[in-house]
Amino acid sequence: MTALWIHGGGLADVGSVGGFLSSFGRLTGLIASALLLVQVFLMARVPWFEKAWGQDELVRSHRLIGFTSFNLMLAHILLITLGYAAGTSEGIWGTIVDFTVNYPGMLLAIAGTACLVMVVVTSIKKARARLRYESWHLIHLYGYLGAGLALPHQLWTGQEFLDSRAATVFWWTLYAVVAAAVLAFRVAMPLFRSRRSDLRVVAVTAEAPDVTSVTLRGRGLNRLGAQGGQFFNWRFQDGPGWTRANPYSLSAAPTDDTLRITVKHLGAGSARLADLQVGTKALIEGPYGRLHPGVRGNRKVLLLGAGIGITQMRALLESLPQSAGDVTIVHRASSRDELVLGEEIEALAAHRGARYVVVDGHRIPGRDSWLPESAAHLGDAEALLQIAPDIADHDVYICGSGPWMAAAEAAVKDAGVAPKAIHIEHLEY
């Protein structure tokens, strides 16, 4: 891309201040555009990338690339404005008015920029924490609109798009590939799979006042290729707001005709699951995630789950091929009254020859730890070695809240487990 910019005369006008600013303003705009498209592609749910890296790694890359692209876009706007203003007597404000009124596609570009600003601002962690997931998800969709509105501006006023056949082919191909990926894997494939599977709610179970299990039945679910530990994006057609998708993990091994999720009520979208009616239809995207039996490398496995994160561990316990003694599942909760699916996991572990360890109690004050206060005399890694002395020979799966997973992961590494044998996935938005 930079080579195309140079070939198109990008360095020809750098002899003056205005030319220098304008030239590098165009370069930052080109890089920002390319990164924006890469960012959209990463979240297009392309199966090969999902399987290779997992959605949490793709989300982290998407976030990093997104902020980089946004900063370069701001640099593009600033440099281009200053560069053009340096060559006129109209000043900065006159140049801005001239751009807006006289340059084709600029109004659309301004609208697209506004959309991207809204997405970026609400992606900052402090702002994101104040938003309901459903609101954040709706706002985030404006990123697609922002990218689309920028295209006419780039084609009509960006000489780097049109000054050579190679540049034209490059940019049109990039846009076409990204658009095709979004349409194929975010729209067409989910609609096809949802229609073919015909998933409908058959049971809604209150596991606790704020935890609900939903069982769905469909046809040919084995064709989805889902495994215990993975998740889908769900849309339950139960009334207004059903179009917003929510990621929920499987809490039981999938069968040829059933899927089950167990969800804690953390917002309006998850709380409404308790009111689902039998027969409600569900649309799905997925399966996603690398927290499944296929990434296992060792015979022995340690499953570490806290809070609602234990549901993925329960599905893995049921799905993992194992002999007696191969699998240990650790269930972390604030109290025994809060052991989500505890009796079910205990019975399943006994049936499969696995060991079930309950670690309950409040957090240790002033210490980032996966342990409860009653075990404060133990080091985090030391406690793991008491549970599994040969933990270095295990694959370890971890799921829970973000801080708890970070503490558990650090402890697992300190206990001698190789990074490639640690499987962790963040589903927080």
* pLDDT band at residue 169 using 50, 70 and 90 as cut-offs: confident
Q: Over the stretch 112-138, which tens digit does the pLDDT of each residue have?
A: 888 888 878 777 777 666 766 666 666
DSSP string covering 83-95: HHHHTSSSHHHHH
Distance CA(105)–CA(100), nearest Å, equals 9
Residue 198 CB-half CA count within 13 A: 4
Per the omega criterion (within 30 degrees of 0), is the bond before 287 cis?
yes
- Tokens linked to 103: 């340059």
Whole-number pLDDT of residue 324: 93
Q: In the predicted model, is pLDDT for residue 5 greater than 60?
A: no
Centre a 10 Å sphere on the Cβ of residue 355 and count the other Cβ atoms it contains: 16
Positive or negative, the Cα torsion across 105, 106, 111, 114? positive
CB 228 within 8 A of CB 254: yes
- Give the N- to C-terminal CA distance of the chain in Å, as an integer: 32
Which residue bears the tokens 């404060």?
376
Segment holding 13, helix H or strand E: none
pLDDT digits (tens, 9 = 90+) for 298-320: 999 999 999 999 999 999 999 99
Does residue 233 contact residue 284 with C-beta atoms inside 8 Å?
A: yes
Mean pLDDT lowest among 66-70, 74-78, 144-148, 156-160: 156-160
Note the pLDDT of residue 74: 87
> Cα(29)–Cα(32) distance, rounded to whole angstroms?
5
- pLDDT for 296 equals 94
The closest of 388, 379, 376, 386 to 410, measured between CA atoms, is 379
Mean pLDDT over each residue of the chain, to the nearest integer = 86
Higher pLDDT, 110 or 344: 344
Whether pLDDT at 420 is above 90: yes
Region 338-357 average pLDDT: 95
Phi, psi of 396 (to 5 degrees): -125, 125
Model confidence band, residue 405 (pLDDT cutoffs 50, 70, 90): very high
Whether the Cβ atoms of residue 407 and residue 381 lie closer than 8 Å to each other: no
Going from the C-alpha of 334 to that of each of 7, 130, 307, the distances in angstroms are 63, 25, 8
* Pairing state between β 231-236 and 282-288: antiparallel
- How much of the chain, in percent, has pLDDT values that exceed 90? 51
